[in-house]
Amino acid sequence: MAKILGTSLQAADQVALLRTLGLLLQIGLTMFAADTFGLSLQMEPLVHVLVLEVLYLSLTLALRKPLFAKERGLFIALSLDTLFWISWLHFSGGATNAFISLLLLPIALAAVTLPIWAPWALTAISTLAYSLMIFTVPESPMQHHGMDMSSHYLGMWFNFVISALVMTTSVALITKRMRRQDAQLAYMREGQLRQEQLLALGTASAQMAHQLATPLSSLRLLLDEVKEDMSGTSITVVEMETALGRCEHTLTELRLATESIRDRRQRPQKIAELVDGLKQKTLLLMPQTELNWLFTCAPEQLAEQSILTDMSLTPAIMALIENAARASVETLGAPQVDISLDIAPSEAQIYLQIRDYGAGIAPSLLPQLGTLLIESPKGLGVALLLSHASLERLGAELILANHPQGGTVAQIRFTILKDKAASLSPKTKAADGVRS
């Protein structure tokens, strides 16, 4: 974001420089080169026009950063520049002024910096003004040493129209294509950065998993020896065994997920199976969490519809549920999470929404969560980054939004698999917001 803002401010400074040079050119031609280029000056109105233009340009230069931050502000500034150019031309010879082609300058700036409608609007204004000036030129300037110059001035007008049309079409389209390519390059750079972060996290996770295997085995042996030496059952030993079993279970799943991702083993899975697996996981790993399941579809639809999955899907969803439970605890004091499931066969989409009752997410962080590591008081968003990457690999889409009644909603959009062939090349449909 900072890079984009810096680029826009740099462009604003370049536009301001060109506008300043245009004003200096007007003053130089008026004061020093009128006789050289045969300008018919009307000094009294020209002085008023130049004074107003100096004041206007000084104001817009002082306010160029907030003014040019929006397309509307830049378009208004270029429109007023065009009107000042028209006024200066009108009082310095009109259509007979050899510098009337400088009306193309605001059009060129608009074609490069603004959407395609802006140069078309400035072209219409400039062409209309040029046409009025050429049809209101007195008869005397049309005669030069006995020669009829009307065809010459008409040719200048026609050349101006062609040049303006070239700028509003070719230049504007080339600029639009370059902007699209810059956006694609920026997206690719972000994707590469995300892949580098994921690779680093995967490498660190594999190393830690390898290092944890031996200590966990040693702890299991020590715990078994403690149980044998004890005559009765201790609550502490039971809790230790539960925690150790969870660690062993997580480590086993990590190994299986790693092998699945490495071998690209993906398979279709019924929605009902996925839901049952999530319920079992939450009961095993999060027994204190209050989960409220809401199904807006018939049970037979859950048994019929399938999505593309692998070993990383369930951990990715579980990470979102754990984040939601943790956020609810901070606000309510209890881990409460709402999970809703909706199937839209007409859209070939399945919507899984996970809502917490926390404080919500700052709007400035919403566009970045799940795509980059974001430093915050609660962590770096590693779980969201990994969940987003796992879902994206399966053709699903993760959308985060603040709930109107408080808390955060994490919506996952799956693509329904129609047949076995579809599981090999799933197609996703674009969506614009969180389904309400």
* pLDDT band for position 202 (cuts 50, 70, 90): low
State the pLDDT at residue 121: 92
CA distance 84 to 105: 12
State the pLDDT at residue 1: 37
CA distance 277 to 268: 14
What digits encode the pLDDT tens for the residues 285-316? 788 888 888 888 777 777 778 888 877 788 88
CA distance 388 to 195: 12
β-bridge pairing 306-309 and 290-295: unpaired
Residue 22 has pLDDT above 80, yes or no: yes
* 145-181 burial code (b ≥16 CB/10 A, e <16): eeeebeeebeebbeebeebbeebbeebbeebeeeeee
Q: Which of 24-28, 66-70, 176-180 has the lowest mean pLDDT?
A: 66-70
CB 385 within 8 A of CB 373: yes
* 85-95 burial code (b ≥16 CB/10 A, e <16): bbbbbbbbbbb
State the pLDDT at residue 128: 92
State the pLDDT at residue 125: 92
What are the C-alpha distances in Å from 430 to residues 75, 349, 424? 32, 10, 19
Q: Which residue has the higher pLDDT, 426 or 390?
A: 390
CA distance 13 to 291: 55
Residue 336 has pLDDT above 80, yes or no: yes
What's domain 268-423's architecture? 2-Layer Sandwich (3.30)
What digits encode the pLDDT tens for the residues 77-124? 889 989 998 999 888 888 888 888 888 888 888 888 888 888 899 999
State the pLDDT at residue 435: 45
Query: In the Cβ-directed half-sphere of 255, how many Cα atoms lie within 13 Å?
Result: 10
Q: Which residue has the higher pLDDT, 202 or 63?
A: 63
Residue 5 has pLDDT above 70, yes or no: no
* Token pair listed for 362: 């700052």
* pLDDT band for position 266 (cuts 50, 70, 90): confident
Residue 206 has pLDDT above 50, yes or no: yes
pTM: 0.49
Q: What percent of the chain has pLDDT over 90?
A: 5
Domains of the chain, by residue range, sit at: 2-140+148-190, 199-263, 268-423
CA distance 78 to 290: 60
